[in-house]
Amino acid sequence: MDLSVIVIVVVVTALIFDFTNGFHDTANAMATSIATGAMRPKVAVAVAGVLNLVGAFLSVEVAKTISSGLVDEARITPVVIFAGLVGAILWNLLTWLLGLPSSSSHALFGGLIGATLVAAGASAVDFDTVVTKVVLPAILSPLLAGVIALVATYLAYRITKRGDRATVSKGFRIGQIVSASMVALAHGTNDAQKTMGVITLTLITAGALAPNSGPPFWVVLSAGLAIALGTYLGGWRIIQTLGKRVSDIQTPQGFAAESASAAVILTSSHLGFALSTTQVATGSIFGAGAGRRLASVQWSVARQMALAWLLTLPAAAAVGAVAAWLASTGTVGTVVVAVVAIAAGAGIYAISRRKPVTAHNVNDVPTPGEKAPAGTAS
């Protein structure tokens, strides 16, 4: 296949991944605000979309980590990157269908690593970077965010203990608008950069950019627009999970969770750590749930999420590896990978329409201990 054609295919595929990242991760910023009523669902995703676009222009440190630190760009081709992206996209779609807030970031890393291992061997993967800038942040960031949110929730309830409940609730609702907006901004800053990094890596491997180059402006703009559009459409299934299935979140908890998430994500973006914003947001929500006395936290849901987190990187790596093997056979193999990926994506979407979750029924799920209303979509 002509190099210029495959580069165009990879860029388009990367932007499709960015789009799935947007609707998969909308919940990170807006799930608690929608659950508490601080923001109406459609307004929330619109605000998140705009701020994701703005956030994409704030930093490129994470993009540099991916484009020049994760794999040896001199030993892979755009076809390998295409195969890795296929693994990431299919995992994103599957976990969205199940309503599981897994990591789009780790799906991307897993897909790229699996494809690179098949195409160029283990020596082409910088495992030191994988450990220090991917694995360790994956372990520490949700724990740190959870502890911060737990302490913040406890203090919020202690400080406002003697206040009028209606006034306190209204104040935290306003606060949630600000804190949720900060998370959306942080998400654009961190996650849009991952697609920027992949496109930049593709251009480097194709010889269109010099090694260690940063992303050109058009790459930053297109990645920002793709993730913003995906965010605006809203990943309602995952919003429902984080907003309603984890705990009965109240406004002080929502404010604490969002503030903790924003702080951790923005700090990591500045340091170039490509962490999972999903794991950070989930850790914050569980911490906020545990920080309120007598709150019911669904730890069974936490186990499901933890299993998805553990499977994300190896599962995406396996798909990326198979896709890379097929694509390495030539143009026909690459076309087969593309056709299978499109068919699988269409099948997942078709299944999702059997029990749709939308802006109108996203909060129609019982809080822990309550009986499900008749006809509730799951």
Could you read off the pLDDT of 233-262 as tens digits, one per residue?
A: 878 889 988 888 888 888 999 999 999 999
Residue pair 181/46 in contact (Cβ under 8 Å)? The answer is no
> Mean pLDDT over residues 124-134, rounded?
85
> Mean pLDDT over residues 111-116, rounded?
94
Could you read off the pLDDT of 192-223 as tens digits, one per residue?
A: 888 898 999 899 888 888 887 888 999 999 99
Residue 370 lies in a domain: no
> Mean pLDDT over residues 60-70, rounded?
73
> Mean pLDDT over residues 325-353, rounded?
94
Nearest residue to 309 (alpha-carbon basis) of 104, 165, 158: 104
pLDDT at 75 over 60: yes
The number of CA neighbours under 13 Å toward the Cβ of 295 is 25
Structural domain boundaries, residue 185: 3-352
pLDDT at 371 over 60: no
Residue 369 lies in a domain: no
CA angle 112, 115, 118 (to 5 degrees): 145
pLDDT at 76 over 90: no
Q: Structurally, how many domains does the chain consist of?
A: 1
pLDDT at 314 over 70: yes
> Mean pLDDT over residues 122-133, rounded?
87
Residue 315 lies in a domain: yes
CA-CA distance, 254 to 329, in Å (whole number)?
50
Give the three-state DSSP class for 247.
strand
> Mean pLDDT over residues 96-123, rounded?
90
pLDDT tier at 68, thresholds 50, 70, 90: low
Residue 193 lies in a domain: yes
Residue 52 lies in a domain: yes
pLDDT at 294 over 70: no
CA-CA distance, 273 to 137, in Å (whole number)?
7
Could you read off the pLDDT of 5-53 as tens digits, one per residue?
A: 899 999 999 999 999 988 888 888 898 899 889 999 999 999 999 999 9
Residue 237 lies in a domain: yes
Torsion sign (Cα): 320, 67, 58, 148: positive
pLDDT tier at 376, thresholds 50, 70, 90: very low
pLDDT tier at 375, thresholds 50, 70, 90: very low
CA-CA distance, 318 to 377, in Å (whole number)?
32
Q: What is the pLDDT of residue 241?
A: 86
pLDDT tier at 304, thresholds 50, 70, 90: confident
pLDDT at 61 over 80: no
pLDDT tier at 372, thresholds 50, 70, 90: very low
Give the three-state DSSP class for 53.
helix
Residue 363 lies in a domain: no
pLDDT tier at 1, thresholds 50, 70, 90: low
Residue 188 lies in a domain: yes
